[in-house]
Amino acid sequence: MKKLKWLIASTVFCASPIMADVLDLEKDELTFGFIKLTDMAPLAVAYENGYFEDEGLFVTLEAQANWKVLLDGVIDGQLDGAHMLAGQPLAATIGYGTEAHIITPFSMDLNGNGITVSNDIWEQMKPNVPKMDDGRPQHPISAEALKPVVEKYKDDGVPFNMGMVFPVSTHNYELRYWLAAGGIEPGYYSPEDVTGQIGADVFLSVTPPPQMPSTMEAGTIFGYCVGEPWNQQAVFKGIGVPVVTDYELWKNNPEKVFGISAEFAEENPNTTIALTKALIRAAIWLDENDNANREAAVEMLARSEYVGADAEVIANSMTGTFEYEKGDVREVPDFNVFFRYNATYPFYSDAIWYLSQMRRWGQIAEPKSDEWFIDTAKSVYRPDIYLNAARMLVDDGMANEADFPWDSDGFKAPTPAEDIIDGIPYDGRTPNAYLDSLPIGLKGEQIVSGSEIKG
């Protein structure tokens, strides 16, 4: 596992201004974990551009083998914080899997994922996909195009296997959302059966992100949902076709977060604000001047110590385009968003969406009140810490006052129907009404009992 360490005399990626004041830090030597995905970029940029050092922080970044190892590292203190799946702090806090109170003062990005299928599955889907006047597939592609393929495999007695990166990952919930929106059952969890495959038409299993393309190429899975660059890698290798991005599933949906233990935040309040300041500056740099710094970010991320994929592959999505079939490159300027649209603010409504999906598929086994969803979100997502850090940056002339939602109550405006692939709007203030509006999934008093939904 390669480590990166600050050296006082080292040359950083670009010069950064001297901070007016450095907080009185409780801890100045920190180790942060990450997974090799392009959305770890704020960590790499904060490191390379000297933003951590400006805060008096001496940081080590360590790539982790998988999401469980990463979470365990934060819980046991080997890592002071980490690039995390947004569902991980929530799941840990409510005791789904490993129990620990994890919080997030910083949301790392919006969008950035895709769903890819193998060439063979794509050829079977294509007759069901509407075409544009120029003959190219019309996007977004609904899972309705996949449904006849899944039914044929089922009739032939062949399990239809797909990959996602972790049971509480955005990718699991996005893949399930896409399948369910197309009338395909993605399966349920219960306290007795945590495979998530109860009643499933499509069988979802965990595959680490960098292994997705090779696992699909080997035929173990027929498709997957993952972050970049592992969808574009399938295109470059000629083994698969991304059929939908999460931007098309839910416009400007939340993705990763930066997670720390509640204990760390309590014991190190100034350090927590300092690291949040550095990450906010990194996010600003990534999006400023209409993504002018993205090429530089791509070169940074391509290094083996970060993502370790070809720069050309990373650039395919990171610089405002996305390639579906080979040669079918389309403009998607918001495929990766790191700062605009208040991307870094930890909204309670984002947390509630993840909790709603845990309930929808049985990871939260019993019905919960709207108040429970809201209180749980507030115990994990910490906009108070975020705004303290933002205020200091603005006061020091390193951020613009207008770029932060100072008066927010923690909830985004409801996502309109036209921004979600199934045309069902989302309002984080009313999670149970939202669950009731979804045709597939648990709602109300329903529970999974054995292989059946009851209630």
192 token code pair: 């007795």
The CA angle 10-77-104, to the nearest 5 degrees, is 85
- Decide: 136 and 248 in contact? Cβ < 8 Å: no
Kindly list the domain boundaries of the chain, sorted by start residue.
Answer: 3-110+255-321+335-346+382-403, 113-253+449-454
Mean pLDDT of 191-218: 96
330 token code pair: 């389309």
The whole-angstrom separation of Cα 83 and Cα 279 is: 11
CA distances from 288 to 281, 293, 337 (A): 10, 7, 11
Q: What is the pLDDT of residues 39-69, one digit of tens each?
A: 999 999 999 999 999 999 999 999 999 999 9
| pLDDT score, position 132 | 97
| pLDDT score, position 139 | 95
The phi, psi pair for 193, rounded to 5°, reads -140, 100
Q: What is the pLDDT of residues 345-402, one digit of tens each?
A: 999 999 999 999 999 999 999 999 999 999 999 999 999 999 999 999 999 999 999 9
pLDDT above 80: residue 19: no
What pLDDT band is residue 7 in, cutting at 50, 70 and 90? Answer: very low
- Decide: 301 and 317 in contact? Cβ < 8 Å: no
Tell me the three state secondary structure of residue 196.
strand
| pLDDT score, position 344 | 98
Q: Do domains 3-110+255-321+335-346+382-403 and 113-253+449-454 have the same CATH topology?
A: yes
287 token code pair: 């999006």
Question: Whole-model pTM?
Answer: 0.94
The whole-angstrom separation of Cα 391 and Cα 372 is: 30
What pLDDT band is residue 314 in, cutting at 50, 70 and 90? Answer: very high
- Decide: 107 and 254 in contact? Cβ < 8 Å: yes
Mean pLDDT of 428-447: 98
| pLDDT score, position 276 | 98
The CA angle 276-253-49, to the nearest 5 degrees, is 35
pLDDT above 50: residue 14: no
Homologous superfamily assigned to 3-110+255-321+335-346+382-403: Periplasmic binding protein-like II (3.40.190.10)
**Count of residues in the chain:** 455
CA distances from 158 to 126, 183, 370 (A): 20, 19, 40
pLDDT above 60: residue 16: no
89 token code pair: 């702090």
Q: What is the pLDDT of residues 141-182, one digit of tens each?
A: 999 999 999 999 999 999 999 999 999 999 999 999 999 999
What pLDDT band is residue 10 in, cutting at 50, 70 and 90? Answer: very low
Query: Does domain 113-253+449-454 fall into CATH 3.40.50.2300?
Result: no
What pLDDT band is residue 22 in, cutting at 50, 70 and 90? Answer: confident
Q: Which residue has the tokens 């996010």?
A: 283
The whole-angstrom separation of Cα 258 and Cα 380 is: 11
